[in-house]
Structure 1
């Protein structure tokens, strides 16, 4: 859009200046919006990274301490260091509670990730009727489709007009001039199909290069030979064909944007490379946390019962014999 704006300003036309100013302001707005989206995405990425690091540290620390304290509890329990055992029992109960909390957290994450992947799959198949449509702008972009159709129609007619002029030139003075490729199908669809162009046609952006060999080196029209065009005429043609080619170069991106293809491709990448591994790994973690929680609870319950039984035996079962 900036390139087109610069070329239109160089043309010196009043309408061209107005269009150039509109394109320049629109380009600035798009750049500002893109920068805002990038900053927001980076903020969300950093936040997600911090949460994941905290979860990793908390999980690793809990597992390490649980295994260490469980081993220490067993060793000191066998050696009957009661005071140490009492302290370890309390610490192990705390770690057991944390293990259960982590198990619940990972279990919920696994369910949410599964539902999210299912929603992404449904969106890829039917983006118009999906729960994610509420938070995604794809429905809003559908209304822009008519504008894109107008652009396609306009470009189709411009290129046809250029080819009509080329036909006249070929018939009169420039028989070797090549036709311009029209990458759009006919009405009513006006689909962008650049691969269907004739073999000997050229892109409209290369049309000035084609005319270069038929351009006079002298600026004076009177000195131009028959079958040649002046440099001023060449400059006007170049000024108009270059923006058209720029529009054609960006057309696939505009089409993908309107069709929300960027979002669909991102979701496809997530579904192929992340959903199944994520679900598998989270399930492995929460199953491991479940087994660790059960093992810790059984171990701590056993030693709690053992210490209570020993304390009861020492306090109640052995009484002094007092003679009257």
Structure 2
């Protein structure tokens, strides 16, 4: 029974701590990946804003005030990205170090318990009483440490449960300021709002640049006036940055490059089209570059909206509470049960060692059953019988004999 408890405890502890450590690392990796993804989105938006600032279509570019606004918002975006990545890396590093130490402690305690059980059993068989007493004292200390670890993991289990519950509550009330913000902080709301507005503003300005270049083709020497007018580009936002529907005859960001390709001509050294068409290859490439930058900024608009209301953190916490928390709780219960079984098994071993080491040997039991005395008593009696009488004994005997006569 003792060995069965010890074996089951070792199996539960080994499997439980390995599964728990793996789940903790998976959870941390998930949080870090969410943070890295958000940081990458912010950096991509920054890069495309800088690209839009440098775009020029037939010597037309963004207004100077818009370019200055882009420079300012890029500084805020870089600060937000650095803050998010720094806080997440710092928190994940601390958590990873703590659970690595816990895993090492469990492995050391389990190994010492196993060695203690094996050595104690051998010493009890060999009847080394003094060594057994030393091992018994050490064993009780390890049992106490193991029970302390059991209590510690009960506390950790409760802490994990409370954290998961707090994440679930935060999902429904993301405005509350809690310690969870240190794990995966939200991006500053003012920065995200301003970034979203600036992105829409840059998109509108780029569309204006493209459409201005297209509408002025009859006045520019870069175009062959024999070609038909190119369709204008559709802006997804109006002058107030509200969403709008494309009008008939406008092309979207997705189809613009293919449609305009039909209006491109073969260029010449004079800058005019050598064949029938609307624009030279150089201007066509500039138009496509402006469309690509606008499409990229418009593509990241939903992600910026998620940052605006902290939706990405809410989604991450919701995934943790749904997929990771149940496994973490199960693994913690397994580790706690394993520690409890090992502690009880070693404690019973300590008690049995005392009785086994103090048991009488086989020859002692045989002597008691057959009434055989100890050899030391036998030798004492034999020595007393075999000792010859001394001379004084003879003298006393002679005197007593003379008196009687």
TM-score by length of 2: 0.56
| Alpha-carbon displacement from aligned partner over 1:162-220 (angstroms, at most 9, x marks no partner) | 99x999x9xxx9989667566579x99749xxxx9899974336535533433564698
Seen in structure 2, the aligned counterparts of structure 1 residues 153 and 23 have a Cα distance that, compared at 3 Å, is: closer
Matches within 5 A, 1:149-188: none
Structure 2 regions of 5+ residues with no counterpart? 1-45, 218-225, 361-405
Matches within 5 A, 1:74-89: 74-89=121-136
Tell me which structure has the larger Cα radius of gyration.
Answer: 2
Residue 281 of structure 1 aligns with which residue?
331
2:145 paired residue among 87, 90, 98: 98
1:214 paired residue among 238, 257, 263: 263
Higher alpha-carbon deviation: 76-85 or 292-301: 292-301
Residue 54 of structure 2 aligns with which residue?
9
Higher alpha-carbon deviation: 176-185 or 243-252: 176-185
| Alpha-carbon displacement from aligned partner over 1:91-121 (angstroms, at most 9, x marks no partner) | 1012112101211221111111111111122
Seen in structure 2, the aligned counterparts of structure 1 residues 219 and 74 have a Cα distance that, compared at 3 Å, is: same
Q: How many matched pairs?
A: 303
Indicate yes or no: 2:302 matched with 1:252.
yes
Separation in 2, partners of 1:63, 1:86: 21
Judge conservation of contact 1:141–1:258 (CA < 8 Å) in 2.
Answer: yes
Judge conservation of contact 1:148–1:255 (CA < 8 Å) in 2.
Answer: yes
Judge conservation of contact 1:220–1:230 (CA < 8 Å) in 2.
Answer: no
Residue 319 of structure 1 aligns with which residue?
none
Higher alpha-carbon deviation: 98-107 or 243-252: 243-252
Matches within 5 A, 1:1-324: 1-11=46-56, 16-24=63-71, 26-27=73-74, 30-31=77-78, 33-35=80-82, 37-38=84-85, 41-129=88-176, 131=178, 135=182, 137-138=185-186, 140-141=188-189, 144-145=192-193, 148=196, 190=243, 202-204=251-253, 206-207=255-256, 209-215=258-264, 217=267, 228=278, 241-300=291-350
> Secondary structure of 1:204's match?
coil
Seen in structure 2, the aligned counterparts of structure 1 residues 226 and 57 have a Cα distance that, compared at 3 Å, is: closer
> Secondary structure of 2:263's match?
coil
Report how far residue 307 of structure 1 moved.
7.9
Report how far residue 29 of structure 1 moved.
5.3
Higher alpha-carbon deviation: 137-146 or 273-282: 137-146
| Alpha-carbon displacement from aligned partner over 1:240-297 (angstroms, at most 9, x marks no partner) | 5454323212212212221323212322332333211111011110121122223333
Separation in 1, partners of 2:208, 2:71: 28
Separation in 1, partners of 2:307, 2:177: 19
Judge conservation of contact 2:120–2:135 (CA < 8 Å) in 1.
Answer: yes
> Secondary structure of 2:63's match?
helix
Separation in 2, partners of 1:134, 1:35: 15
Higher alpha-carbon deviation: 280-289 or 31-40: 31-40
Instruction: Give the structure, 1 or 2, with the largest relative contact order (CA under 8 Å, sep 6 or more).
Output: 2
Separation in 1, partners of 2:205, 2:80: 32
Judge conservation of contact 2:233–2:251 (CA < 8 Å) in 1.
Answer: yes
Report how far residue 19 of structure 1 moved.
3.5
Residue 24 of structure 2 aligns with which residue?
none
Seen in structure 2, the aligned counterparts of structure 1 residues 19 and 259 have a Cα distance that, compared at 3 Å, is: same
Judge conservation of contact 1:122–1:130 (CA < 8 Å) in 2.
Answer: no
Separation in 1, partners of 2:272, 2:228: 22
Structure 1 regions of 5+ residues with no counterpart? 311-324
Judge conservation of contact 1:92–1:296 (CA < 8 Å) in 2.
Answer: yes
